[in-house]
Amino acid sequence: MEKIFYHFLQGLFLLYFVSASLAMTTTNITTDQDALLALRAHITSQGPHQILLKNWSVSSPVCQWVGVTCGSRHRRVIALDLSNMSLSGIIPPQLGNMSFLVSLNMSRNNFHGELPHEFARLRRLRVLDLDVNNLSGGFPEWFGSIHQLRLLSLNNNSFTGLISPSLANVSKLQTLSLSFNYLQGNIPTEIFKISSLELIFFQGNSLSGSVPDDMCRHLRRLKWIDLSRNKLNGQIPSSIYNCSQLQVLSLSVNHFTGFIPREIGTLKALERLYLYRNSLEGQILKEMGNLTMLKTFAIGANSITGEIPKEMGNLTVLKILGVGGNHITGAIPQEISKLCNLEELYLTLNNITGFIPMQVFNLSQIRTLSYRKPTFRRAFLNSNNLGGPIPDSISNCSKLKILELSVNNFTGPIPHYFGDLRHLEFLDLSGNNLMSDYSSSNTQLGWINSLANCKHLTVLGVADNPITGFLPNSIGNLSTLLEQLYAYKCNIRGSIPDGQHSG
C-alpha cells in the first residue's frame, strides 16, 4: 500500500512539474506585444513620420499596429513588415519569442549589430528578409535550425566569415540571397543539395574555391544563379545541363578557366548568360545557337578565340551580344543581321577582319554597337582589323552620339554624311587608312564643312591617317563645345581658331 501511495505522489509531482514547465513556456499575444515594444525601445531614430512611435501604443490592440498582421485562428502575430521605414537601431532578442511568426521583413532600413541567436526559436518562419541594412557579424550557424524557411535574403549588409553548411538542413529553401556582403571561403557543397532551391544570389562577396562538378545534379528547379564578382576558380561544371529550368546564369568577374561547356547549349530556357571577365578560352560553340530564348550573351574580357559562328543568327530575341576584349578572328557573319531585336553589340578589342555587314546598321532596335535603328546611340568598333570603306549605312543612324572606329584598316575617303548625324558628340577615326576626298594637297578638306552641322561635337579624332589638305575656314563653325581635335601624323595644314584644342 505504501509503495502504491509513493508512486501516486511521484506521478503527481511529475504532473505538476510538467504543467509548471508548460506554463512557463506558454506564449500569447502579450508576448508578441512585449517583443514589439522591445524593438521600438531599441530603435534610435525613425523617418520624419515617426510611424512606430505614434502607432505602436498599448492603448490599441497589437493586431492593429502598423506593419503587424495577425492570424485569424490564434490571433497571434504571424507577419511583421517594417520595410523601407528609415529605422535605425539594433534588433533585440525578444523578437525570438514571437513563436507564430511566419514572415519577417525589415529590409531597407539601417539596422546594425548582430542578429540575435534567439531567432533560432522562430520555427514557423518561412520568410526572413533583411536586405539593405548594416547588419554585421559572422554568418549565423543557427539558420540551419529554421527548417521551414523558404526565403532567406541578407543582401547588402556586412556579414562576414563562411557560409554555414548547416543551411543544408533547411530542406524547403527556395530563395537564398546573400549578395554584397563580406563572405569568404568556399561555397559549401551542401548548398547544392537543397533540391527545392530556385534562386541563388551570392554575387559581390569574396567567395573562393571552385564549384562542385555535380553542382546541378540536385538543382532541377533552379531558375537563377548569380555567383558573379567573387574569387571563384576552376571550370564551369558540365553538369550544368541538369539545371534544365535555368533562366539566368551569371558567373562573371571571377577566375573561371577552361572552355565554355558545350552542355550550356542544352539549356533551352536560358535567357541571360554572363561569363565576362574570367579566364575562359576556346571558341564560341555553334551550340549557343540552340538557345532561342537567350536575350543576353556576354562573354567579353576572356581569352576566347575563333570566329563568331553563323548559328548565333538563330538567337532572334537576343538584345545584348557582348564578345569584346577577346581574341576573336574572322569576319562579322552576315547572319548577325537576323537579330532583329538586338540593342547592344560589343565587338571591340578583338582581331575581327573583313567588312562590316551593311545590314548591321539597319537593325531597327540597335542602340549600342560596340564592334544603338536609326535610334542607335553608340558604336564602338575600335581595335579590330576591320577594313574597306566606312559603310554608307551609318548615315541611317540619325541618333548616333558616339562613333569609335579607331585602330582598324578602314580605307577610302572620310564620308561627308557624318554631317547628317546631328547628335554626334564623339567621332574617332584615328589609326586607319582614311584620306581626303581630294587628291590635291592644297585642297581644303570638304568633310570638315559637313561637321559644322554637328552642334554637339566635343571630340574629333582623325590622327594617324594619310589625310592631306588644308583646314577650311569653316573649322571655326564647328561646335562651340568642341574640346579636342586629334590630327597628329596627318598632312593637314592650317590654323585652328582660339578656344579649340588639338592633340
Write the pLDDT tens digit of every residue in 244-297: 999 999 999 999 999 999 999 999 999 999 999 999 999 999 999 999 999 999
Question: SS3 of 481, please?
Answer: coil
Per the CB < 8 A criterion, the answer to whether 368 and 347 are in contact is: no
Q: How far is CA 369 from CA 20, 184, 293, 356, in A?
A: 75, 38, 21, 11
Reply yes or no on whether the pLDDT at 85 is more than 70. yes
pLDDT surpassing 90 at residue 188: yes
- DSSP element (H, E) containing 25: helix 2-25
| 184: number of Cβ within 10 Å | 16
Question: Which pLDDT tens digit goes with each residue over 198-257?
Answer: 999 999 999 999 999 999 999 999 999 999 999 999 999 999 999 999 999 999 999 999
Half-sphere exposure of 406 (CA within 13 A, CB side): 15
Task: Give the integer Cα–Cα distance in Å for 246 and 97.
Answer: 39
> Cell 506558454 identifies what position?
26
Q: Which of 23-32, 60-69, 466-475, 476-485 has the highest mean pLDDT?
A: 60-69
Cell, residue 500: 579649340
Contact 76, 32 (CB under 8 A): yes
Domain borders along the chain are: 26-120, 139-281, 286-405
Q: The domain 139-281 is classified under which CATH number: 3.80.10.10, 3.90.226.10, 3.30.43.10, 3.40.640.10?
A: 3.80.10.10
3-state helix, strand, coil in the chain (%, to 5): 25, 25, 50
Looking up cell 586607319 gives 432
Q: What is the separation of C-alpha 172 from the centre of its chain, rounded to a whole number of angstroms?
A: 26
Kindly report the average pLDDT of the chain as a whole number: 87
CA dihedral sign of residues 120, 125, 129, 133 = negative
Provide long-range contacts, Cβ within 8 A and 24+ apart, for 124-128. Answer: 124/78, 124/99, 124/100, 124/148, 125/101, 125/149, 126/102, 126/150, 126/151, 127/102, 127/103, 127/151, 128/104, 128/152, 128/153
Count helices and strands (H / E) in the chain: 4, 35
Q: CA torsion sign, 23 to 27 to 28 to 32?
A: positive
Residue 440: phi and psi, rounded to 5, are -75, 130
Q: What is the pTM of this model?
A: 0.80
Say if residue 23 is exposed, middle or buried (CB neighbours under 10 Å; 0-12, 13-18, 19+).
exposed
Does the domain at 26-120 match CATH 3.40.50.12160? Answer given as no
Q: Show the cell assigned to 72.
A: 485569424
Q: What is the DSSP string of 373-405?
A: -TT--EEE--SSEEEEEPPGGGGG-TT--EEE-
- Which is the CATH superfamily of the domain at 286-405? Ribonuclease Inhibitor (3.80.10.10)
Side-chain-facing half-sphere of 389: CA atoms under 13 Å: 12
- Cα 258 from Cα 276, distance rounded (Å): 13
pLDDT at residue 50, as a whole number: 82
Whether 139-281 and 286-405 share one fold: the answer is yes
Give the pLDDT band of residue 365 (cuts 50, 70, 90): low
What's the start-to-end Cα distance of the chain, in Å?
114
pLDDT at res. 364: 53
Q: What is the mean pLDDT of residues 71-88?
A: 93
